[in-house]
């Protein structure tokens, strides 16, 4: 029993029959709508931004976490050793510095520019964290940060950088998906990712890592990679 | 709620949901979600220097936590909204709007696993919106509203393009999210395909449909 003959219904915006028998559209209407949908989707596909090749490897080396390791005193090294979180007015170490730049023949701006050129996004959604400046004895907020994505819903590679005492200190980590908040999936994978980024950009990644003794779970072995230009 | 044909405003409303109150709640909720995400991007940048002296950093961190949580939860809320109240366009906006607003605010404009997941969750939410519309409006049950089907289909196409593009570029640490994206996309594709098949059958007066129709009164 057909109340509306679809062949007489030319469709278009007013093509929907309101006789209570359900919507009916002519073949031509359906075809043009399908073409419109695919066209819109095609335009959407063309406006998609470019992909950025992730530098995060599947595996990275780590000497293992020594839970009894004693970290180097922050007064004895030009680099930061820990990243701190401000908690009720107290500074609490939350993550180890795992990549450092002596900046003998490079600048902090060159470090951040290299990160940016690798496709990282600066200004990601992130917490405020600090590092200790031994020259002033004060804690300084992250000076430059970058991540693979704005929110990191899928998980992300994330770096925080400080310029302290003429050197650069970087805390690099891979975040887990935020369920409900970001956790640390790996420090070693992020350290390796940063090594790959700077190696590809022509910097020298030292074979000998610097012992900072800031071992931290899940996989940081207390050594920071030293990168020079 | 189901306005006559040709009413552009009515068609837009139908794309955003069947029940008026749920639709309003959805629009307001989405607006608040986008506003909080933008606040979590901008407020820490504006206030952190002042906050450092006032010990307000923890509140800013809490705001960031909420911002990230909204971006994550919005993906699921879109699916639930579509299922409950139809409205493929508004349902798809839940995963997409907070993510896109945050990206525009930060200038972080690259195709990554996050954007791919938002697109596929948007496609799935739109597809469930077709189902939700049919649930609330029985006369559209067989195929869902054609406008909604158009929205869902275009998201399917864009989602597939994103999935293919991100395939090789994404790192192994986001493999789980890429798998989830494929899963959402596949589910959406099945529903949307069924929608088109339903329209073709209804439109051509298929017998299977015809026997379902009541006899007209004498």
Is the distance from CB of A146 to CB of A115 less than 8 angstroms?
Answer: yes
Q: How far is A144 from chain B (nearest CA, A)?
A: 12
Q: Which segment of A42-46, A129-133, B10-14, B43-47 scores lowest on mean pLDDT?
A: B43-47
More confidently predicted of B111 and A9: B111
H-type alpha helices, chain A: 27-47, 108-117, 188-200
- Could you give the CA distance from residue A87 to residue B89 in angstroms, rounded to a whole number? 42
Q: How far is B115 from chain A (nearest CA, A)?
A: 9
Contact A1 B215 (CB under 8 A): yes
Nearest in space to A82 (alpha carbons), one of A136, A139, A124, A120: A139
Question: Would you state the pLDDT for residue B3?
Answer: 45
Own/partner pairs, B30-36, CB within 8 angstroms, 24+ separation: B30/B74, B30/B90, B30/B93, B30/B94, B30/B97, B33/B70, B33/B74, B33/B94, B33/B97, B33/B98, B34/B97, B34/B98, B34/B101, B36/B63, B36/B66, B36/B67, B36/B70
Question: Would you state the pLDDT for residue B34?
Answer: 97
Q: How far is A99 from chain B (nearest CA, A)?
A: 20
pLDDT tier at A198, thresholds 50, 70, 90: very high
Statement: the pTM of the whole predicted model exceeds 0.80: yes
Q: How far is A2 from chain B (nearest CA, A)?
A: 6
Contact B110 A18 (CB under 8 A): no
Question: Would you state the pLDDT for residue B33?
Answer: 97
Q: What is the pLDDT of residues B155-181, one digit of tens each?
A: 999 999 999 999 989 999 999 999 999
Nearest to A151 among B48, B68, B215 (CB): B68
Q: What is the pLDDT of residues A99-112, one digit of tens each?
A: 999 999 999 999 99
Q: What is the pLDDT of residues B116-133, one digit of tens each?
A: 999 999 999 999 999 999
pLDDT tier at A11, thresholds 50, 70, 90: very low
Nearest in space to B140 (alpha carbons), one of B188, B195, B193: B195
Q: Taking residues A52-58, report their average pLDDT.
A: 93
Contact A54 B171 (CB under 8 A): yes
- Could you give the CA distance from residue A13 to residue B147 in angstroms, rounded to a whole number? 9
Nearest to B102 among A13, A16, A125 (CB): A125
Confidence check: pLDDT of A2 > 50: no
pLDDT tier at B51, thresholds 50, 70, 90: low
Contact B117 A154 (CB under 8 A): yes
Say what the ipTM of the complex is: 0.87
- Could you give the CA distance from residue A44 to residue B154 in angstroms, rounded to a whole number? 8
Q: Which segment of A168-182, B63-77, B194-208 scores lowest on mean pLDDT?
A: B194-208
Q: What is the pLDDT of residues B97-107, one digit of tens each?
A: 999 999 999 88
Contact A179 B67 (CB under 8 A): no
CA dihedral angle for residue B191, residue B194, residue B199, residue B201, rounded to 10 degrees: -160
Contact B177 A49 (CB under 8 A): no
Is the distance from CB of A25 to CB of B5 less than 8 angstroms?
Answer: no
Q: Taking residues A12-33, report their average pLDDT.
A: 63
Size of interface A-B (CB pairs under 8 A): 243
Contact B67 A125 (CB under 8 A): yes
Question: Would you state the pLDDT for residue A191?
Answer: 97
pLDDT tier at B205, thresholds 50, 70, 90: low
Question: Would you state the pLDDT for residue A41?
Answer: 97
B chain contacts of residue A27, beta-carbon cutoff 8 Å? 200, 203-204
Question: Would you state the pLDDT for residue B143?
Answer: 57
Question: Would you state the pLDDT for residue B109?
Answer: 79
Among residues of chain B, what percentage have pLDDT more than 90?
63
Q: In whole angstroms, how far apart are CA A22 and each of A81, A212, B138, B140, B144?
A: 68, 71, 8, 6, 9
Q: What is the pLDDT of residues B17-30, one digit of tens each?
A: 999 999 999 999 99
Confidence check: pLDDT of A204 > 80: yes
Among residues of chain A, what percentage have pLDDT more than 90?
70
Question: Would you state the pLDDT for residue A86?
Answer: 86
Q: Which helix (H) or strand (E) holds A123?
A: none
Average pLDDT score over chain B: 86
Own/partner pairs, B59-65, CB within 8 angstroms, 24+ separation: B60/A128, B61/A127, B61/A128, B63/B36, B63/B39, B64/A125, B64/A126, B64/A127, B64/B40, B65/A180, B65/A181
């Amino acid at each position: 029993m057909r109340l509306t003959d679809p062949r007489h219904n030319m469709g278009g915006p007013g093509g929907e029959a309101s006789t209570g028998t359900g919507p009916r559209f002519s073949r031509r209407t359906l075809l043009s709508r399908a073409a419109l949908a695919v066209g819109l989707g095609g335009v959407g596909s063309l406006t998609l931004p470019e992909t950025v090749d992730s530098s995060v490897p599947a595996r990275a080396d780590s000497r293992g976490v020594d839970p009894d390791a004693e970290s180097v005193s922050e007064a004895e090294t030009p680099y930061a050793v820990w990243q701190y979180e401000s908690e009720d007015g107290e500074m609490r170490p939350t993550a180890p510095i795992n990549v450092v730049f002596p900046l003998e023949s490079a600048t902090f701006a060159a470090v951040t520019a290299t990160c940016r050129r690798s496709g990282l996004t600066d200004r990601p959604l992130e917490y405020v964290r600090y590092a200790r400046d031994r020259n002033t004895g004060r804690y300084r907020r992250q000076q430059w940060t970058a991540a693979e994505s704005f929110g990191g819903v899928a998980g992300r590679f994330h770096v925080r950088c400080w310029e302290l005492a003429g050197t650069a200190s970087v805390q690099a980590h891979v975040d887990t998906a935020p369920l409900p908040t970001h956790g640390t999936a790996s420090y070693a994978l992020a350290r390796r990712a940063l090594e790959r980024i700077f190696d590809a950009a022509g910097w020298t990644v030292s074979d000998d890592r610097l012992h900072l003794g800031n071992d931290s779970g899940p996989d940081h072995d207390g050594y920071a990679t030293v990168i020079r230009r | 709620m189901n306005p006559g044909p040709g009413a552009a405003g009515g068609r837009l409303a139908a794309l955003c949901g069947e029940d008026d109150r749920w639709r309003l709640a959805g629009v307001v909720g989405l607006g608040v979600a986008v506003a909080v995400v933008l606040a979590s991007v901008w407020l820490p940048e504006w206030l952190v220097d002042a906050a450092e002296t006032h010990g307000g950093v923890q509140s800013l961190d809490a705001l960031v936590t909420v911002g990230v949580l909204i971006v994550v939860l919005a993906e699921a809320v879109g699916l639930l909204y579509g299922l409950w109240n139809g409205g493929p366009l508004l349902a798809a906006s839940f995963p997409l709007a907070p993510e896109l607003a945050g990206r525009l605010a930060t200038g972080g404009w690259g195709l990554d696993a996050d954007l791919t997941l938002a697109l596929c969750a948007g496609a799935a939410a739109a597809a469930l919106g077709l189902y939700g519309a049919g649930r609330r409006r029985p006369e559209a049950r067989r195929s869902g509203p054609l406008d909604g089907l158009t929205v869902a289909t275009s998201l399917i196409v864009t989602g597939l393009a994103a999935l293919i593009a991100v395939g090789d570029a994404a790192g192994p640490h986001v493999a789980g999210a890429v798998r989830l994206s494929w899963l959402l996309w596949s589910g959406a594709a099945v529903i949307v395909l069924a929608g088109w098949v339903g329209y073709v059958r209804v439109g051509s007066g298929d017998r299977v449909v015809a026997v379902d129709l009541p006899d007209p009164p004498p």
